[in-house]
Amino acid sequence: MKHLLSVSDLGADGIRELLDLSDTFVEVSGRSIPKVPALRGKTLAWLFYEDSTRTRLSFETAAKRLSADTMNFGVSSSSVNKGESLRDTVETISAMGVDGIVVRHGSAGVPWQLTRWTDAAIINAGDGWHEHPTQALLDCYTLRQHFDSLEGRHIAIVGDIKHSRVARSDLAAFSLLGAEVTLVAPQTLLPPSLEGWPAKISHDLDAVLPTVDAVYLLRMQRERMAEALVPTLREYTAGYGLTLDRCRLLGDQTIVMHPGPMNRGVEIAPEVADLERSVVIEQVANGVAVRMAVLYLLLGSGVDLTEGTR
């Protein structure tokens, strides 16, 4: 595989292979010197046209642990502000010799477009409402840590499904691995058509909570909303927020997930975010190992991993 554009491209076997490979990088990350020379001599560039904390830092950490060189490109301090087009920007970066470009952009499809303008491997770090494949992979990894397998598990994805690339990639990955998914949201936060989505739909969070192994909460993505889709945030929280009271409906083993950034007090009550069953921090930690696996698979396969830089 040359690029990672969509999680569906991997298929169930590809996802499982990547998760198995991630185990190796969890081990590497636990070493006293968490670094292997797998990508020595390779250069990666970050092209983030949208804000990011965890995804960007996570890719950066992953690249460093694999000994890759990185080219830092801040859109807000670059010639993009002088009107340079995406194509010219990518061709310029390419001309300096990059092996991989990690891209986040507000428009769906941009990572696919990039593959036509450069020979570098393209990794999709989020394109508009469309896909966020590495988030889905780290979520599958986290679920596998808790349940061994996703086969037959029931996962609720709750909240602003309409604007969420995380929901789209997660739904694809979870169902490829055999989980059953229920999307829980008010009608206005669901896409206009759900044809072909391998999911059940519910508008009743309280009815769904007792039946799930994991509750996956989404942020209300106000920056993507042109109009008010919920009457008030308070009303949203009353119907769909995961409060401490609602947590009492959950089974003992049920975990609570969130891709971050969390809006405490909106989709998740502050106390719920800090419960033991909340695995948000595990998701972040796993993100580094999973992204190491992705970079290694695309750019470094064949390099011996048992040799550290001790």
Return residues touching ligand NCD (CB under 6 A). 54-55, 126, 132, 135, 165-166, 219, 221, 259-260
What is the rounded distance in angstroms from the CA atom of residue 275 to the CA atom of residue 263? 16
CA distances from 260 to 33, 129, 169 (A): 28, 16, 15
User: What single letter denotes the amino acid at residue 246?
Assistant: R
Minimum distance from residue 126 beta carbon to ligand NCD (Å) = 5
* Rg, Å, the chain Cα set: 19
Place of tokens 């469309």: 130
In the complex with ligand NCD, which residue's Cβ is closer, 6 or 135? 135
Taking Cα atoms as reference points, which of 73, 79, 255 lies closest to residue 179? Answer: 255
In the complex with ligand NCD, which residue's Cβ is closer, 22 or 55? 55
- Scanning the chain, the segments in alpha helix (DSSP H) are 11-29, 54-65, 86-95, 110-114, 133-147, 165-176, 205-208, 233-240, 244-247, 270-273, 280-295
Minimum distance from residue 106 beta carbon to ligand NCD (Å) = 10
Minimum distance from residue 139 beta carbon to ligand NCD (Å) = 10
In the complex with ligand NCD, which residue's Cβ is closer, 135 or 237? 135
Q: Are 256 and 277 in contact (CB under 8 A)?
A: yes
In the complex with ligand NCD, which residue's Cβ is closer, 43 or 237? 237
What is the rounded distance in angstroms from the CA atom of residue 73 to the CA atom of residue 53? 15
Q: Which residue is nearest to ligand NCD (CB)?
A: 219
Minimum distance from residue 310 beta carbon to ligand NCD (Å) = 33
Minimum distance from residue 104 beta carbon to ligand NCD (Å) = 7
In the complex with ligand NCD, which residue's Cβ is closer, 100 or 159? 159
